[in-house]
């Protein structure tokens, strides 16, 4: 792992207005993720994990603070520039796969590459390699409805990796799967991330899986804290 910072969040605040009330979701959040580092983001439902990932992924702007990708300030850019940065540098995996139902697995992985102006043959070869690496080589011509939940999510992972992002952002990527399938998909995700040299910020409720990552941070009461030694104290166990 080198010392290059792929993602930096500096003094991130996020507030929402609810009638006359102001809800503080994120409070002075600071985070650095280095090249090839995989970081677990943990915390209870409603703690702001999804909001933090949306801001890190340039999908939502912070109320205050800065988002830097590869050392470049990005949070103040126009919508068009942020869209281009997401296409070039970021990959996203969500709890629900959001695959295109009328396209098969291979086509779902090819599609974002074509949008990025990759030639079709190159996109097809890359998509086949990813699906084979994720154990779906024999399922590439099946549409989402013909795939199991775990298979659908692996297609979504392949799609997220198709344009070779520098940073993967995953929001409870296996939260909608049964425990056995969840573990298998999650370990495959971590293996492929490590193999391809990506950095990743992965939100999860699964503490055992979080321990498999390089580092763990916890979001509580809008504040982000590093967990000492990547372990959770007995007092914190019931919190998650």
Q: Do the beta carbons of residue 116 and residue 163 sit within 8 Å?
A: yes
Domains observed in the chain: 35-60+77-237 (3.40.50.300)
pTM for the model stands at 0.86
At 12-62, the pLDDT tens digits run 999 988 778 888 899 999 999 999 999 999 988 888 899 999 999 999 999
Q: Do the beta carbons of residue 184 and residue 150 sit within 8 Å?
A: yes
Task: State how far the Cα of 57 lies from the Cα of 42, in Å rounded to an integer.
Answer: 17
How high is the pLDDT of residue 64? 93
Helix (H, G, I), strand (E, B) or coil at 200: strand
């Amino acid at each position: 792992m080198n010392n290059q910072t792929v993602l930096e969040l500096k003094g991130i605040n996020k507030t929402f207005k609810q009638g006359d009330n102001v809800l503080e979701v994120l409070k002075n959040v600071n985070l650095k993720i280095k090249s090839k580092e995989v970081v677990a983001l943990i915390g209870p439902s409603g703690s702001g994990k999804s909001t933090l990932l949306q801001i890190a992924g340039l999908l939502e702007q912070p109320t205050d603070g800065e988002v830097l990708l590869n050392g470049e300030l990005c949070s103040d850019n126009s919508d068009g520039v942020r869209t281009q940065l997401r296409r070039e540098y970021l990959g996203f995996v969500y709890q629900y796969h959001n695959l295109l139902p009328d396209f098969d697995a291979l086509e779902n992985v090819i599609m974002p590459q074509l949008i990025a102006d990759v030639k079709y043959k190159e996109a097809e070869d890359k998509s086949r390699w990813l699906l084979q690496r994720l154990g779906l080589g024999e399922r590439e011509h099946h549409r989402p409805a013909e795939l199991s939940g775990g298979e659908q999510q692996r297609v979504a992972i392949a799609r997220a990796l198709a344009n070779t992002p520098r940073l993967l952002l995953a929001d409870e990527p296996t939260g909608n799967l049964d425990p056995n399938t969840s573990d298998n998909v999650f370990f495959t995700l971590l293996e492929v991330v490590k193999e391809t040299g990506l950095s990743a910020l992965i939100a999860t409720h699964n503490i055992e899986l979080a321990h498999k990552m390089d580092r763990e941070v916890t979001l509580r009461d809008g504040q982000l804290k590093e967990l000492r030694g990547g372990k959770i104290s007995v007092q914190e166990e019931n919190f998650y």
